Amino acid sequence: MVLRNKNIAKLQAGYLFPEINRRKNKLLEENPDAKIISLGIGNTTKPLTPYITKALKEAAESLGTAEGYSGYGDEQGMTALREKIAEQLYKGLVDANEVFVSDGGKCDCGRLQLMFGSKVTIAVQDPAYPVYVDGSVIIGVTGDYNESIKRFDNIVYMKCTAENNFFPDIKSLERTDLIYFCSPNNPTGVVATRDQLKELVDFAKANKSIIIFDAAYSEFISDPNLPRSIFEIEGVREVALEVSSFSKSIGFTGVRLGWTVVPKELRFDNGEQVINDWNRITCTVFNGASNIVQKGCLAVLDKEGLKEMQETVDFYMENARLIKKGLDEMGVKSYWTGNSPYIWAYFPGEKSWDVFSRLLNEAHVVVTPGSGFGSAGEEYVRFSAFGHRNLIIEAVERLKEKLK
């Protein structure tokens, strides 16, 4: 018999989406005609745009020709794409050799965890995207379970609620080796300001920590004063790496493409460069992103492609505006500054699963309970703007009618 990896047994039951489905199905049993609308899932719905679709099609077709065929490429990604990402998205703040193209930001998080190994301590925002903690636990980052504080010794949860403007209290923060930080945040949608990121960077520097910055939603930032990348912050190159993705901004959730930027100045405590180990991991357990998709991405970064990316983002942002306006009209307190596709709605005194059930049963609208992202998400629910326009409008109308 094979021993089960005991770290997997330490994972908290992944019950969020199964439980959402269980409650949905229960409603449908009692009320088979209910037309349920989901504002819950962080999955994209808008079709790919024409210029990008054409590039993907041409790339696929060219593989069927003798001149156009290619097999394995560089594990780090096509040079032309690495250069274009560095130029177009980072305006030269990073070097093309520091950009590693991949099959997605979540997958890169998993491989980063493999690189850092089990002997690190980590900090995550609470609430947070689940892979930071779960991927770390699988690799063995836990320490002992501490019953009195109900957490593993080696994982620090940085509480982010309305009381601290959804930014951790850095002054009272425990030192950890790694700090996962996502901005614009999933699930809260909150974007850290330049000053806040500077504080985080200074903290990491003083503690010789490494920040793993998740910029998957950076394209949703329209306020020019807000940083889209951690590399916009002074002094950051010795303390941070950045993970990003085309999943949400151009609808590549199913097509798959992301990247990680590791600056050459980032080092381990023995002086070795992190970029060398990242290169080693990339070449060992990854064989490069799809060549078709990488060619599609070259088109995304053309003038026409960037314009289409903006249109896709604008479409979801208009959805978000409609949801926010509806919540305001209902008198529901919610947080959204126009720079993310998620709206974080606050129901003081009510458990987030109770809010979930109330919206489901009364308006047949599905949201995501905030507690599913961490205990600091209690009393909140997440509204996602990744939906079809007509359904968003209908959901908002129903909520207004039933909840007024």
Ligand X SMILES: *Cc1c(COP(=O)(O)O)cnc(C)c1O
Give residues in contact with ligand X (CB under 6 A): 42, 104-107, 129, 182, 186, 214, 216, 245, 247-248, 253, 258
Closer to ligand X by CB, 107 or 395: give it.
107
Q: Closest approach of Cβ 131 to ligand X, in Å? A: 7
Distance between CA atoms of residues 245 and 102, nearest Å: 9
Q: Closest approach of Cβ 127 to ligand X, in Å? A: 11
Q: Which two tokens stand for residue 332?
A: 């529901």
Closer to ligand X by CB, 182 or 297: give it.
182
Distance between CA atoms of residues 37 and 24, nearest Å: 10
Look at residues 245, 255, 283 and name the one whose alpha carbon lies nearest to residue 73: 283
Closer to ligand X by CB, 104 or 372: give it.
104
Distance between CA atoms of residues 337 and 190, nearest Å: 7
Q: Closest approach of Cβ 211 to ligand X, in Å? A: 15
Q: Which residue is nearest to ligand X (CB)?
A: 104
**4-13 b/e with 16+ CB inside 10 Å = b?**
eeeeeeeeee
Closer to ligand X by CB, 42 or 135: give it.
42
Distance between CA atoms of residues 202 and 206, nearest Å: 6
Q: Closest approach of Cβ 250 to ligand X, in Å? A: 11
* Distance in angstroms between the alpha carbons of the first and the last residue of the chain: 59
Closer to ligand X by CB, 106 or 295: give it.
106
Contact residues for 313 (Cβ-Cβ < 8 A; gap 6+): 219, 220, 249
Q: Closest approach of Cβ 92 to ligand X, in Å? A: 24
Q: Closest approach of Cβ 84 to ligand X, in Å? A: 18
Closer to ligand X by CB, 137 or 399: give it.
137
Q: Closest approach of Cβ 241 to ligand X, in Å? A: 14
Q: Closest approach of Cβ 228 to ligand X, in Å? A: 15
Q: Closest approach of Cβ 253 to ligand X, in Å? A: 6
Look at residues 297, 190, 203 and name the one whose alpha carbon lies nearest to residue 249: 297
Q: Closest approach of Cβ 216 to ligand X, in Å? A: 4
